[in-house]
Amino acid sequence: MTNVENTAKRGDGFFFSLEGSEGCGKSTQITMLRSFLSAKGVEPVMVREPGGTDLGEKIRHLLQHDEAGEGMSAEAELLLFAASRAQLMRELIFPELAAGRLVVADRFLDSTTVYQGIARGLDASAVQAINGFATANRKPDLTILLDVELEVGRARAAGRVGDPDRMEREPDAFFERVRDGYLQLAAAEPERIVVIDASLDPDAVHAQITQVLTERFYGLHR
């Protein structure tokens, strides 16, 4: 049974996430995707990680910008991401999916698997267990991985307005592990994770994203 058929049969919503390392163009693609969906008569529920709820946004600030977060242990970082995600799932994602909505997430549990697990070297089984507990083992129905080489991503990120956050200040070796980790996940779950070359023109990337989503999400076939 395909993802489209399975989602239609369940009668619930569709859960779609976008992933990628720094400078992969996620923000641009999410903006373009929202316009595309609105033109199709679909109003998605847009969420981001960490964040998306009042509690989650407080955690986001602590993780990214608060001085108290400097020197944070990898284990504490993992648990804070999981706490934000657990609240997001129960406050927004589960209710919206039950109502038949399309939920689009700017990052989800794959980010934790890669950033805190693979790149920070935490135990993979522990990360998997914590992710599963936070999400009640609910993964996205479809994940797009925007893959870009480190040099390209770094150059794009350097052009952003504002100071880099705590995560963005990590060294190149960290982001090499992030990219490799994402590609490992995609190889392990090819039915869920679709890799797109994010070094292409944004319009070309957008066209590929919308093609894949149209194939998988039954709401665009009505």
C-alpha 77/C-alpha 63 separation (Å) is 7
- Banded model confidence at residue 2, pLDDT cuts 50, 70, 90: very low
Structure-token pair, residue 132: 């599963």
In this structure, how many other beta carbons lie within 10 angstroms of the beta carbon of residue 34?
Answer: 15
The DSSP secondary-structure symbol of 107 reads S
Give the pTM. 0.90
* pLDDT tens readout for residues 7-42: 433 448 999 999 999 999 999 999 999 999 999 999
Q: What is the pLDDT of residues 80-112, one digit of tens each?
A: 999 999 999 999 999 999 999 999 999 999 999
Tokens read off for 210: 């919308």
pLDDT > 90 in the chain, percent: 84
Which residues are 103's β-sheet partners?
15, 45
Measured CA to CA, the distance from residue 142 to residue 50 in angstroms comes to 19
Residue listed under structure tokens 């399309």 = 102
Q: CB of 88 within 8 A of CB of 112? A: no
Distance CA 127, CA 82 (A): 9
Question: How is residue 163 written in tokens?
Answer: 């100071």
pLDDT per position as a tens digit, 39-61: 999 999 999 999 999 999 999 99
Torsion over CA of 190, 191, 195 and 196, rounded to 10 degrees? 150
Helix intervals (H) in 20-149: 26-39, 54-64, 74-88, 94-98, 109-111, 124-135
pLDDT, position 158: 80
Inter-CA distances, 85 with 45, 68, 107, Å: 15, 21, 10
Q: List pLDDT tens digits, range 118-129.
A: 999 999 999 999
Q: For 131-186, write each residue's pLDDT tens digit.
A: 999 999 999 999 999 999 999 988 888 877 677 888 888 999 999 999 999 999 99
Residue 10's pLDDT is 45
Hey, CA dihedral for 77, 78, 80, 85, is it positive or negative?
positive
- The predicted pLDDT at position 33 comes to 97
